[in-house]
Amino acid sequence: MSFLFSKQAGVIIAALTSDVKPKSLYNQGMEIKIGAAKIRKYAVSKSGDTLEVIERPNGGLSVVLADGQTSGQGAKAISMMVVRKVIGLLAEGVRDGAAARAASDHLYTEKRGKVSSTLNIASIDLKTKTVVLTRNNPSPIYVCHGDQLDILSTESSPIGIARHIRPSISEIALKPGLTIIIYTDGLTHAGKRIGQPMDIGAAIQAMLSDEDPSPQEIADSLLAHAVRLDENRPADDISVVVIRVISEEKDNVRRMSVSLPFGAI
């Protein structure tokens, strides 16, 4: 995994990239790439979104993204509580759905049902050769198979507002050409302040039809588009995660690098 940070449109954008070629997929000539970009709300010191990428105990990776209610330091504390609970359980081998339910019950108990958080988990399972998408987030997930664009938009509630909240779970086979886009609601809100809401589906289709962008390029482009619609003053914290499966023959090496400028978070 690698964390990259850059300035675009006069604001600081935090991004993450990961190139992973799991052993079970090596002989098939497939490589999994993950890119992400996130930015905090304008004039707020802390982003309320928390993003983590961890290795699973039986191989593969999990991406965990949470968006705490409201924004700033309080929202950051909530999203970090949720993400840490989830990654701790995943590290012990707990299934994603059970980890999401446990995080919801934990938040409900700690905050007495007065605070919510969205939660997305995307897990690359090397045994089943699938990606498992766990969602407690009203914002949908976009899944692209070549030129086909599907939307996972079944009703889904944030966690922490009641007991026994269940996530929406989907499982998709890992095949070359698969692209998955996950995001927090800041992307949905982009442009609404000036009456020009972002058409996320159209933006994704335009990128995928014109060229073969990397996951990082997709995440950066979506985030930059949202920031422009908000006139370089993001109306909310925004995080975008993109997962792609590509056909590529490389060595069987996992790579990670980290770059973090002061003040970017």
Sign of CA dihedral 38, 43, 49, 50: positive
Report pLDDT digits (tens) over 58-116: 889 999 999 999 889 999 999 999 999 999 999 999 999 999 999 999 999 999 999 99
Which domains are seen in the chain, by residue range? 2-250 (3.60.40.10)
Whole-model pTM?
A: 0.90
Q: Give pLDDT, residue 212.
A: 86
Is residue 65 within 8 Å of residue 241, measured between CB atoms?
Answer: yes
Residue 151: pLDDT band (50, 70, 90) is: very high
Report pLDDT digits (tens) over 1-57: 433 333 343 344 445 556 655 444 544 678 899 999 999 999 999 999 999 999 999
Supply angle C-alpha 64, 87, 15, rounded to 5: 35
Residues near 49 by beta carbon (within 8 Å), at least 6 away in sequence: 38, 65, 66, 67, 68, 79, 184, 186, 237, 238, 239
**Residues in the chain, overall count:** 265
Q: Is 262 exposed, middle or buried (0-12, 13-18, 19+ CB in 10 A)?
A: exposed
* Portion of the chain with pLDDT greater than 90, in percent: 75
Element (H or E) spanning 62, and its range?
strand 61-68
Pinpoint the alpha helices (H) of 118-214. Answer: 185-189, 200-210
